[in-house]
């Protein structure tokens, strides 16, 4: 993003980490860290176990991978096909709450995780 370092006091990534492969998610987290001012807050929503439980259409194989590895972005979401350069970019991504805590803690101090508060099913991580 063509913005100076430490440009924002608040970054809201609503339903972003719900649609990214792991390497892409890590790049986004790093970029958000760069853009956030010291003392700023990043609000990062994600599909955690609460989300996984509310979407009954996921296969047992998909669910098992989330539970075993902590992360699964195997399902392609077609909503952005033809709108972005890579039709495999937009995913249906789920992670365990512990995985999300570890992932976000790579760049941030994690202040809290609130379960099921975004659109009544996504979790939100409050990061500093």
Instruction: For the chain, list the domains and their CATH numbers.
Output: 1-48+96-128 (3.40.50.150)
Q: What is the pTM of this model?
A: 0.92
Q: Give the pLDDT of residue 56.
A: 61
Q: Give the pLDDT of residue 85.
A: 83
pLDDT tens digit at each of 128 positions of the chain: 689 999 999 999 999 999 999 999 999 999 999 999 999 999 999 999 999 888 766 789 999 999 999 999 999 988 878 888 888 889 999 999 999 999 999 999 999 999 999 998 999 999 99
CA angle 28, 80, 87 (to 5 degrees): 80
Give residue for tokens 């987290």: 29
CA atoms within 13 A on the CB side of 17: 33
């Amino acid at each position: 993003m063509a913005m100076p370092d430490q440009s924002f006091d608040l970054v809201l990534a609503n339903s972003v980490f719900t649609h990214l492969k792991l390497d892409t998610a890590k790049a986004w987290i790093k970029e958000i860290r760069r853009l956030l001012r010291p003392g700023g807050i990043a609000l990062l929503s994600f599909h955690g176990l609460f989300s996984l439980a509310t979407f009954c259409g996921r296969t047992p194989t998909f669910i098992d991978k989330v539970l075993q590895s902590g992360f699964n972005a195997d399902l392609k979401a077609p909503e952005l096909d033809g709108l972005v350069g890579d039709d495999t970019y937009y995913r249906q991504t789920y992670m365990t709450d512990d995985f999300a805590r570890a992932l976000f803690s790579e760049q941030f101090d994690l202040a809290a995780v609130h379960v099921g508060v975004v659109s009544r099913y996504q979790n939100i991580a409050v990061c500093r």
